[in-house]
């Protein structure tokens, strides 16, 4: 696996200046340095499947290290430190849709798992947008129903009469 490039940036948090450095140690392990403090952030199995989103503490402040399209970024107090974009945490309710989609692996094997994984990824992505909650839930309901319908149609096509 290729290592991510070292990222360095400066941020002002609660009136204090921080010099950050993020360096990948191995697969899903990163070292975050802020001024004189250093912490190792490790991802696990869920990180491998659903993306890097792990908490850590620097200077007594709870932060999150996340993989974004632009690389790794740190979220604190509702915003990403590098991009400045708002950080929307993964809501707990999305895991219901993820489990329902992923459970297709038990019904349709590899094909069901592939369809379910794509559906769960779409639900996870939709759940972290800034649209109203009812719309995000609606998208996840639609995607979940669509994944099941796709598996049923594929099963009928390949194994039906």
CA distance 145 to 4: 37
Distance CA 29, CA 55 (A): 12
In this structure, are 98 and 151 located in the same domain?
yes
* Residue 93, C-beta contacts closer than 8 angstroms, at least 6 positions apart: 127, 137
Query: Alpha carbon 61 to chain centroid distance?
Result: 21
Q: Is the pLDDT confidence value at 50 over 80?
A: no
87 occurs within a structural domain:
no
Do both 133 and 69 map to the same domain? no
In a domain, residue 41? The reply is: yes
Q: Same domain, yes or no, for 66 and 98?
A: no
72 and 113 part of one domain: no
Distance CA 97, CA 144 (A): 6
75 & 14 share domain: yes
The answer to the question of residue 85 being in a domain is: no
pLDDT at 139: 97
CA–CA separation, 99 and 50 (whole Å): 12
Examine residue 11 and state whether it is found in any structural domain, yes or no.
yes
Overall number of domains in the chain: 2
Rounded CA-CA distance 31/16 in Å is 21
Q: Domain range holding 20?
A: 7-80
Q: Are 71 and 7 in contact (CB under 8 A)?
A: yes
Are 54 and 100 in the same domain? no
Q: Percentage of the chain surpassing pLDDT 90?
A: 54
Q: What does R_g of the chain's alpha carbons equal in angstroms?
A: 19
Top mean pLDDT of 16-25, 104-113, 139-148 is at: 139-148
76 and 117 inside one domain: no
Asked, for residue 142, whether it belongs to a domain, the answer is yes
Q: pLDDT tens across 75-106, in order?
A: 999 999 988 999 998 899 999 999 999 999 88
114, part of any domain: yes
Residues 75 and 99 in one domain: no
The model carries a pTM of: 0.74
Check whether residue 53 and residue 117 sit in a common domain.
no
């Amino acid at each position: 696996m290729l290592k991510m490039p070292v990222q360095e940036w400066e941020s002002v948090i609660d009136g204090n200046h921080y010099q950050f450095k993020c360096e990948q140690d191995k697969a899903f392990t990163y070292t975050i340095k802020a001024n004189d403090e250093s912490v190792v952030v490790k991802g696990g199995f869920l990180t491998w499947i659903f993306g890097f989103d792990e908490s850590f503490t620097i200077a007594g402040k709870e932060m999150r290290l996340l993989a974004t399209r632009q690389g790794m970024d740190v979220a604190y107090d509702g915003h990403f430190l590098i991009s400045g974009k708002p950080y929307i945490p993964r809501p707990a309710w999305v895991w219901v849709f993820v489990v329902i989609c992923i459970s297709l692996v038990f019904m349709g094997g590899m094909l069901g798992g592939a369809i379910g994984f794509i559906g769960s990824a779409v639900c996870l992505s939709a759940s972290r947008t800034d649209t109203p909650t009812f719309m995000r839930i609606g998208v996840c309901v639609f995607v979940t129903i669509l994944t099941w319908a796709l598996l049923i149609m594929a099963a009928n096509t390949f194994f039906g009469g």
